[in-house]
Structure 1
């Protein structure tokens, strides 16, 4: 029964494939473009200057904030 159904299925597919209308080949118009050999080099220079700050003093606010110690970090004696 399975073989009969598959044979019928393939025959129906072959008939539907033959019944399709063939479309005519579409010709594409080609355009000829010239090659550009001139290159433009642009160099952009940024005039922004950035300053990095170094703190000399031990008690400066930035260093003190970055080097914080919590109570959980302290060692406990048993």
Structure 2
């Protein structure tokens, strides 16, 4: 019974949604003007600043990756 009522409700809502008149906004036409841009080259030399990262420990990620140790490399206590 609950499934039938739910199905009827969904169908009713769907039909009422389709019955609504869609209000279409009027299309506005705009006038466009074409502006041509001119490129002026400046001969002034601008220095580019490059950013360099400074790490506290040099090559710390590389040293950590290369300093791995395996379980078999450790000495066993007899």
Structure-2-length-normalised TM-score:
0.37
Using the size of structure 1 for normalisation, the TM-score is 0.37
Higher relative contact order (CA 8 A, sep 6+): 1
Larger radius of gyration: 1
